[in-house]
Structure 1
Amino acid sequence: MQSLFNSSSVGEESSALFAIRMKQWFRILLSVFLAFSLLIGVVYAVGSGLPQAHTVSLSTELPLTPDKLYPKLRNFREFPSWQKNLESVEPVSEISWKEKDTSGDTITYAIVKEEPNRMFETKIMDEDLPFGGSWTFEISETKDGSRLTITENGYVYSPIFRFVAHYVMGNDSSIKTYLEYLNSALNREKVSK
């Protein structure tokens, strides 16, 4: 009988130990959940304090004259050949197109203002997105080619996305990526000539 009593006692001890460990795991999971909720709350609160609208500009010098650079920037049918983030472009009209990126997302753009070889403005035409805005491309002649200035007038509705755009990615990240792709394409063209 003594051995039966001992095995029962061992079973009770392991049940008690299991209950203690489960409580510890529950506290850990609850702490992680509360910390994550607090983080999301802080991100939301800080993002809510940021304005929906933003304006950023970046400029670069390029070795093409305005009459050579302008068509490169304006010819949306060729965008997938040099913008690595684009899978395809579907023309809607001579001034409007749909871009499908490598993530599968599609955005419709249109040229809303244009002065050949000097400037043009593109605008996101989809109204059901959590963001929108326009880019203005300004080209001026320099002694070695052109100076390109891109100005983004954008807006972001979601406070969480505003926080990420402002503090994590930077509001100018899309322009920086675009200019990197453009410079890479121009360097490849220069090498192939």
Structure 2
Amino acid sequence: MWVLLIAVGVLVAAAAAVLLIGRGLPVEHEAARSLGLGRQPQEVWRAVTDIDGLSAWRPGLKRAEALPEVDGRTRWCEHDRHGKITYEVVEADVPRRYVTRIADTGLPFGGTWTWTIEPTAQGCRVTVVECGEIHSPLFRFVSRHIIGHGATLERTLRALAKHFGEDRAALGTPAAG
């Protein structure tokens, strides 16, 4: 009986510690990753911005469907195993800069992804910067200490490299500038 009570006490204390640590973390975060590809910027731009083709290379994405524009902004809905999320284009400077934002309100998270595609002698360098916000202290703790803020960026860039047959492309964290 005492062992059970001690185990429950330890679990409650651990849960309380996770929530306290999570409350102490900032709601907003920024993460960035980059990747060199042997492709022209226009080719990478098409892959990143083609709503109908996203599910062909994005990990875990079941489908993406275009939605009607709102206030002149391109919008789409992505469906994955967790449900669906609506996104919108904030800025599109073909083929250099593409900024998207989670358009759904009321989610426990939100933010933007800024894609920068810069030409190089070998093809291009793709950099993605996530400016995110996580409202739940539990999710903040998990994102910061268990998953890592850059994990989705890394997974997405690795999938993009694989889409172009460049599975061994090296990921990096861009230098602050």
TM-score by length of structure 1 reads 0.81
2:112 alignment counterpart: 134
1:56 equivalent in alignment to 2:31:
yes
2:169 alignment counterpart: none
Provide the C-alpha distance between the structure 2 equivalents of 1:107 and 1:134, rounded to a whole number of angstroms: 13
Q: Which amino acid aligns with 2:26?
A: P
1:161 alignment counterpart: 139
1:35 alignment counterpart: 10
1:68 equivalent in alignment to 2:43:
yes
Provide the C-alpha distance between the structure 2 equivalents of 1:107 and 1:67, rounded to a whole number of angstroms: 26
Q: Which has the larger radius of gyration?
A: 1
Cα deviation, 1:5-28, whole Å, max 9, x if unaligned, reads xxxxxxxxxxxxxxxxxxxxx322
Aligned pair count?
163
| % same residue | 30
For the residue of structure 2 that corresponds to 1:93, the secondary structure is strand
For the residue of structure 1 that corresponds to 2:42, the secondary structure is helix
Cα deviation, 1:160-179, whole Å, max 9, x if unaligned, reads 11011001100001101101
Contact 2:37 2:124 in 1 (8 A): yes
Provide the C-alpha distance between the structure 1 equivalents of 2:77 and 2:155, rounded to a whole number of angstroms: 19
Q: Which runs of 4+ in 1 moved over 6 A?
A: none
Q: Which has the higher helix share?
A: 1
Q: Which amino acid aligns with 1:169?
A: I
Give the Å deviation of 1:127: 0.6
TM-score by length of structure 2 reads 0.88
Contact 2:97 2:114 in 1 (8 A): yes
From 128, 149, 152, the equivalent of 1:171 is 149
Provide the C-alpha distance between the structure 2 equivalents of 1:174 and 1:134, rounded to a whole number of angstroms: 13
1:81 equivalent in alignment to 2:56:
yes
1:22 alignment counterpart: none
Q: Which has the higher strand share?
A: 2
2:100 alignment counterpart: 122
Provide the C-alpha distance between the structure 2 equivalents of 1:143 and 1:97, rounded to a whole number of angstroms: 34
Give the Å deviation of 1:104: 4.2
Provide the C-alpha distance between the structure 2 equivalents of 1:124 and 1:35, rounded to a whole number of angstroms: 37
What is the RMSD computed on CA atoms of the aligned residues? 1.5
